Chain A
Amino acid sequence: MGFEGIGAAVKRKEDGRFLAGRGNYVDDINRPGQVYAYFKRSDRPHARILRIDTAAAAAAAGVVAVYTGADFAADGIGGLPCGWQIHNKDGSPMAEPPHPVLAQGKVRHVGDPVVAVLAETRQQAKDAAELIEIDYEDLPGTASVLDALKPGAAVVHDEAPGNLCYDWQIGDKAAVDAAFAGAARVVRLDLTNNRLVPNAMEPRAAIGECDVAGNYTLYTTSQNPHVIRLLMGAFVLHIPEHQLRVVAPDVGGGFGSKIYHYAEEALVTWAAGKLKRPVKWTAERSESFMSDAHGRDHVSTAEMALDAEGHFLALRVSTLANMGAYLSTFAPAVPTYLYATLLAGVYKTPVIYAEVKAVFTNTVPVDAYRGAGRPEATFLLERLVDAIAHDTGIDRIELRRRNFIPANAFPYQTPVALQYDSGDYETTLAAALKAADYAGFPARRQAAAAQGKLRGIGISTYLEACGIAPSAVAGALGARAGLYEVANVRVNPTGSITVFTGTHSHGQGHETTFAQVVADQLGVPVSQVDVVHGDTARIPFGMGTYGSRSIAVGGSALVKAMDKIVAKGKRIAAHLLEASVDDIEFKDGKFSVAGTDKSKTFGEIALTAYVPHNYPIEELEPGLDETAFYDPKNFTFPGGCHVAEVEIDRETGVVRVVNFTAVDDIGRVINPMIVEGQVHGGVAQGIGQALLEQAGYDAGGQIVSGSFMDYTMPRADNIPNIHVGTESTLCTHNPLGVKGVGEVGAIGSPPAVINAIVNALDAYGVRHLDMPATSQKIWSILQAGAPRMAAE
C-alpha cells in the first residue's frame, strides 16, 4: 500500500457505490406493508382555515387514513421544538410560537402542510388529496422583513406582536458610540443577503415504522439522526429513546437543510404507531422548494468608524433577519451567535456592537445553510471594507493589511465573544494574490477592454468559526443541546477496524477521511477500516454533521478513542513481550520494546485481545473496543483569501467569473483531493448566491421561483476552473490540528465576486450591488449612466 495516512489524496471509498447507482438512500428503502403519505399543503401565504372536509378523500380508493392538525391536537402532540433560545436586549426570552406538525387554525406560508393522506399507493394518496375541500379566509401576508415590521402589518403569530421574534444585541454599545463620536470618518453601507433554496440533490424522505411492542424506527434524510431521535422522541411524540431508532443511511447532500426536525418525520412516525404499518414519504422537488428550510435573507446596515489613516475604530451593525413563518430547529442561533460573533472577521476592530431583530414573515422557515450566519457576516464585512476603500481612496489590499490581526497576536480575543486560537491572514492573502496574478490584472483588464468587456477583480479576506462547539459555551448562549462528538473504535479479532462515528456523511467523504486518520494512527490500510455512521442503534451517540464540525470534533473523538486502543494494546504487548508497559512504543502499526528488536504487530495484539490464552486476564479485560466522547475546548477558525475575476458583457450585462482563486487556512489537511472538492462545491454555491440564486416571493408571500424553471442553480458553465491552495496554521486545541473545510468556499466567495463586479463597474460610479448580480441588474446600471472618469 502507498501512503494513505493524513495528507494523502486517497480516492473516496464511498464513490464506487455512488457512481454505480448502488447507494442506499431513504427512498431506496421499502418496508413490508408500507403505505404512502402525501401532504396537502397550503397554496396561499396566510389564511385562516375555516373548514376542512376530508370525507371524500377518506372514502377514496386505497386510502388508509387522513389526518389533520385536529388529530394531533386531540393526541396532545404539541409541535416541533426549537433547539436554541435567544434572549432579548431586556433579558426576556424570544417569542417562540407553536409550530404544529399539521396546520392548526391558520396556514402561514405556501407549503405549510395542512392534511396528510395515507394510502396504499402514492398515486392513490395524491388522487385522494384532490378531493379534500379546505375553506380559507385569506389574510394579508408579508414576505420581506421590512414589510413585516411596518405598523399594521399582518401578524403571523399572535404570540409575536409586530412579528418580532427577538431583538438581540452583542457588544459594548457605549464604547462603540463613543468611538463613532470621535472618529475622523464614518463609512456606512446598507445591504441585503439574498434568500436561497438549498436544493440538495436528494429530496427529503422519511419512513416511519412501529412494531407490535411499540418500538419505532424512522428512516430519514438527516445530517444528525441522534438529534432527531432526541427532538422527536422527547419533545414531540414522547417516545422513549430506547424505543426509537433513527436511521439516516446514504444522504444525497444536505448543506444544513437536513439538520432540522421536520413535520413530515413526525407525521410518518406518529402515523406508523397509529396504523401499525410503515409509512413512507418522499418529497417531490416542488415540495422541497416550499418546505426545506431556506437560507440567509438578511437586511443590514453596517457602519465603520475610522481614524484618519483608515484604521478601524469601531463597527456598528444593525440586522433584520427573516425567520420565515415558524422557528426551524436552529434558526434563532444563525443570525446571532453564528453571525454577529463573526463581525470582527480578520480585523483588529477594537469595539463592535451589533443588534439583530428576528422577524416572522409568511415564508418558508429560514435556518442554517452552508456557512450559516458566517457568509452573511463575511459578505457584510468584506463589502464594507471595499466601500471604505472606495470612499477613502485607500487601496483595498493596503486597507486590509493595515487592519489585519497580526500573526503574532494569537490567541486573539475579539470584542464579540470569540477567541481565535491561530491564523495568519497576511500569508493567505499574499499566497492568493500571487496565485491569482493580481499584479498582472491591469494588463488583463486592458485586453478585455479591447474586446469590449469590463473586467474586474475582487478579494475577500474572510474568517469563520466552526468545529461547533464547546458545550458549556453553547449552553450559556442558549443551545438546548451539548455539541460534543462521539467515536467508537472497534478493533476486530483479525485486526480490521470498524469505526462508529456520531458525525454523518452526506457527501463529505468521511468513510475515507476518517479511515485515513485511523490508518495514520494505527498503521492499518484504509481498506481495513470501515466507517459506520447514521444509525442510532449502532452508534453510541453523536450530534451529527454541520458547521464544518466533523473532523474537528468527530475526528478528535476518534483520536481519543484510538489513544485508548493504543494504551490497552501496549499493556497486552507488555505482557506478551515480557516488558514494562512504560517501555512499549507504538509506531507504524507495531508495538515494540524500546531499544530492542522485540515487537508485536497490531494484528497480533488484536487477536490476543480476543483470544486471551496468554493474557493478563487478572488485570485487563479481553477485547479491543473503545469509545470516546470529545467536547471541544473552543471553536476552530478557518480563514483565508478568495480572489474572483469577472468579465462583464457590456451589451447584455452578463457577468462571467473568469478566474477564481481560493487560498484557505483550514488547519491540517487530511485528504487534499477531498479538500479541493469541498472548496469547489462551496465556491460553486457562493458564485450561485452572488450571480444567480434568489428565492423569489411576491410582496404578499406567494413563491415566484418555485422550480428549477425559475430558480437559477449554478451549472458547470457558470463556474470557472478554481485554483485551490492551502496555507495552514494548526488549530492549537484539538489533537489533529484541524479546523474544517466544509463551508469556507461558500463563505469566502460571494463578497469576492461582488467586489470584483463593483471593481469592473468602477467607471460607472458603482459603490455597491446586492446579490444576485443578474444580467438585467447589471444592464440597468450600464444603461443608467455613461462611464465616469472617476467614482464620486
Chain B
Amino acid sequence: MYDFTYHRPTSVADAVALLGSDVDAKALAGGQTFIPVLKQRLNKPSKVVDLAGLGLAGISLSGNALVIGATTRHAAVAGSADVRRAIPGLAALAGGIGDNQVRHRGTIGGSLANNDPAACYPSAVLALGATIITNKRRIAADDFFQGMFSTALEPGEIITSVSFPLPVEKSAYAKFNQPASRFALVGVFVAKGVAGVRVAVTGAGQNGVFRQTAMEAALTASWSPDAVAAIKTSAADLNGDIHGSAEYRAHLITVMAKRAIAAAG
C-alpha cells in the first residue's frame, strides 16, 4: 500500500472534519474490502480515518425498530438474540457473510457505504425497508443504493446506524455463492413487514441491488415458494462473468427466491 496518515477520531464531528479536510481522505470501517484494495495499490488515500473509535457499534431493540450501529460487526449481528428474534433472516444473512475472520472485522455500515454489487447486506436493507441514518439525515433504503459501488452518501457524510422497522412478520435470505470469492453470485432477501412484501436481489444486477417487483406482487397475493416459481427475471440487466452468465443468474434468482420463501416459513 501507499503511505498515508492514520487517524482514529473519537467523535463523529472530528471524523467528519478529517474526512472533509481532504478530498483524498478515506474512511475505514471494518476494512474487509478497503485493506485489500490498499494492499493492491488500487487506492491512494492521503488520510485514513478509522471509525472504530466513534462508539457506533451496538444493537438496540425498541418497540418499532431494530437499530444497528454502523460499526457493528457481522458476527455481532449474527449472534444477537435480539436480531434473531426480531428479524431472523437478517441474523442468518450476517452469519453467512465471508468467513469467520471477515465476520469479526467487517461492519454493516462499511458494507452499505461500499455497496459492492455482490454484498449481502444491501438486499436485507432494501427488502426490509430500512432507514440509513447518517450524521446529517435519514435516508430510505429505496433512495440509498444508487448503482454499483454508488450510494446517496455525500462527501463528509458518515453512516451512524441502520434502523429496521418492526414488526417483521417474515424474513429470510438465500444466497448462491460465487464459488471462488463466496460473495453472492445471486442473493435474494424476502421480507414481509412494515413496508409490505419485498424481494431484494443482490449479486446479479448490473446496477447492484434491486427489487423483484413481480415476485413481490405474487407473494403479496400468496406467500409460498410456488407463487414465484414461474416468475422469471430478465437477463438483460444482469451481470455475466466467468462464474455465471446473466441467464444463469436470472434462473438462480427464482431458485433462491423460492428457497428464501421456504426458509421464511
Q: Give CA–CA (A711, B242) in the complex, Å.
A: 10
Confirm or deny: B40 has a beta carbon within 8 angstroms of a beta carbon on chain A.
Answer: yes
In the complex, the answer to whether A779 meets B179 with C-beta atoms within 8 Å is: no
In the complex, the answer to whether B180 meets A708 with C-beta atoms within 8 Å is: yes
Q: What per-residue 1/0 map shows which CB atoms of A84-127 lie under 8 Å from chain B?
A: 00000000000000000000000000000000000000010011
Q: What per-residue 1/0 map shows which CB atoms of A702-734 lie under 8 Å from chain B?
A: 001100111111000000000000000000000
Q: Give CA–CA (A692, B179) in the complex, Å.
A: 8
Confirm or deny: B176 has a beta carbon within 8 angstroms of a beta carbon on chain A.
Answer: yes
Confirm or deny: B101 has a beta carbon within 8 angstroms of a beta carbon on chain A.
Answer: no
B residues contacting A by CB (< 8 A) are 2-3, 40-41, 176, 179-181, 242-245, 248, 251-252, 255
> Which A residues touch B251, using CB under 8 A?
779, 783
Q: Give CA–CA (A405, B58) in the complex, Å.
A: 69
Confirm or deny: A580 has a beta carbon within 8 angstroms of a beta carbon on chain B.
Answer: no
Confirm or deny: A398 has a beta carbon within 8 angstroms of a beta carbon on chain B.
Answer: no
A710: contacting residue among B40, B242, B245, B255, CB under 8 A = B242
> Which A residues touch B3, using CB under 8 A?
123
> Please, which residue of chain B has its CB at the minimum distance from the CB of A709?
B181
Confirm or deny: A651 has a beta carbon within 8 angstroms of a beta carbon on chain B.
Answer: yes
> Please, which residue of chain B has its CB at the minimum distance from the CB of A691?
B179
> Which A residues touch B255, using CB under 8 A?
651-652
> Please, which residue of chain B has its CB at the minimum distance from the CB of A693?
B180
In the complex, the answer to whether B252 meets A710 with C-beta atoms within 8 Å is: no
Nearest CB in chain A: distance from B82 CB, A: 29
Q: Give CA–CA (A424, B67) in the complex, Å.
A: 67
In the complex, the answer to whether A776 meets B244 with C-beta atoms within 8 Å is: yes
- Ordered by A's residue number, 16 sampled pairs between the chains whose C-beta atoms are within 8 Å are A126-B41, A652-B252, A652-B255, A692-B180, A708-B180, A708-B181, A710-B180, A710-B181, A774-B179, A774-B243, A775-B179, A776-B243, A776-B244, A779-B248, A780-B248, A783-B251
Confirm or deny: A24 has a beta carbon within 8 angstroms of a beta carbon on chain B.
Answer: no
> Which A residues touch B179, using CB under 8 A?
692, 712, 774-775
Nearest CB in chain A: distance from B3 CB, A: 8
| Residue from B176, B245, B255 with most neighbouring chain A CB atoms (10 Å) | B255
- Determine chain B's interface SS by DSSP, over half rule: loop
Nearest CB in chain A: distance from B46 CB, A: 16
Q: Give CA–CA (A145, B245) in the complex, Å.
A: 25
> Please, which residue of chain B has its CB at the minimum distance from the CB of A777?
B248
> Please, which residue of chain B has its CB at the minimum distance from the CB of A649?
B255
Q: Give CA–CA (A126, B252) in the complex, Å.
A: 43
> Which B residues touch A126, using CB under 8 A?
41
**A651-B255, A652-B252 known; A704 vs B242 contact (CB < 8 Å):** yes
Q: Give CA–CA (A286, B41) in the complex, Å.
A: 12
In the complex, the answer to whether B245 meets A776 with C-beta atoms within 8 Å is: yes
Q: Give CA–CA (A297, B255) in the complex, Å.
A: 34
Confirm or deny: A696 has a beta carbon within 8 angstroms of a beta carbon on chain B.
Answer: yes
- Other than A692-B179, A705-B180, A712-B179, give 11 A-B pairs with Cβ distance below 8 A: A126-B41, A127-B2, A286-B40, A652-B255, A692-B180, A708-B180, A709-B180, A713-B180, A774-B179, A776-B244, A780-B248
> Please, which residue of chain B has its CB at the minimum distance from the CB of A708?
B180
Q: Give CA–CA (A651, B225) in the complex, Å.
A: 14
Nearest CB in chain B: distance from A284 CB, A: 9
> Which B residues touch A127, using CB under 8 A?
2
> Which A residues touch B181, using CB under 8 A?
708-710
> Please, which residue of chain A has its CB at the minimum distance from the CB of B252?
A652
Q: Give CA–CA (A126, B38) in the complex, Å.
A: 13
> Please, which residue of chain A has its CB at the minimum distance from the CB of B255?
A651
6 smallest A-B Cβ distances: which pairs? A712-B180, A709-B181, A712-B179, A651-B255, A776-B248, A710-B180
Nearest CB in chain B: distance from A537 CB, A: 36
Nearest CB in chain B: distance from A237 CB, A: 32
> Please, which residue of chain B has its CB at the minimum distance from the CB of A775?
B179
> Please, which residue of chain A has its CB at the minimum distance from the CB of B40?
A286
Q: Give CA–CA (A780, B2) in the complex, Å.
A: 44
> Which A residues touch B180, using CB under 8 A?
692, 705, 708-713
> Which A residues touch B40, using CB under 8 A?
286
Q: Give CA–CA (A712, B241) in the complex, Å.
A: 14
Nearest CB in chain B: distance from A61 CB, A: 11
Q: Give CA–CA (A507, B251) in the complex, Å.
A: 43
Q: What per-residue 1/0 map shows which CB atoms of A763-792 lie under 8 Å from chain B?
A: 000000000001110011001000000000
Q: Give CA–CA (A286, B252) in the complex, Å.
A: 31
Nearest CB in chain A: distance from B103 CB, A: 16
> Which A residues touch B41, using CB under 8 A?
126
> Which A residues touch B245, using CB under 8 A?
776
> Please, which residue of chain A has its CB at the minimum distance from the CB of B182?
A715
Nearest CB in chain A: distance from B102 CB, A: 13
Q: What per-residue 1/0 map shows which CB atoms of A501-520 lie under 8 Å from chain B?
A: 00000000000000000000
Nearest CB in chain B: distance from A516 CB, A: 36
A696: contacting residue among B242, B244, B248, B252, CB under 8 A = B242
Q: Give CA–CA (A126, B1) in the complex, Å.
A: 9
Nearest CB in chain B: distance from A548 CB, A: 29
Q: Give CA–CA (A708, B179) in the complex, Å.
A: 10
Which residues of A278-311 are within 8 A (CB) of B?
Answer: 286
> Please, which residue of chain A has its CB at the minimum distance from the CB of B176?
A652
Q: Give CA–CA (A710, B181) in the complex, Å.
A: 6
Q: Give CA–CA (A227, B40) in the complex, Å.
A: 34
| Residue from A123, A127, A652 with most neighbouring chain B CB atoms (10 Å) | A652
Q: Give CA–CA (A776, B176) in the complex, Å.
A: 12
| Residue from B2, B179, B242, B252 with most neighbouring chain A CB atoms (10 Å) | B179
Nearest CB in chain B: distance from A558 CB, A: 42
Q: Give CA–CA (A230, B8) in the complex, Å.
A: 54
In the complex, the answer to whether A710 meets B243 with C-beta atoms within 8 Å is: yes
Nearest CB in chain B: distance from A103 CB, A: 22
| Residue from B2, B3, B180 with most neighbouring chain A CB atoms (10 Å) | B180
> Which B residues touch A652, using CB under 8 A?
176, 252, 255
Nearest CB in chain A: distance from B177 CB, A: 9
> Which B residues touch A704, using CB under 8 A?
242
> Which A residues touch B176, using CB under 8 A?
652
Q: What per-residue 1/0 map shows which CB atoms of A673-716 lie under 8 Å from chain B?
A: 00000000000000000001000100000001100111111000
> Which A residues touch B2, using CB under 8 A?
127
Q: Give CA–CA (A9, B181) in the complex, Å.
A: 37
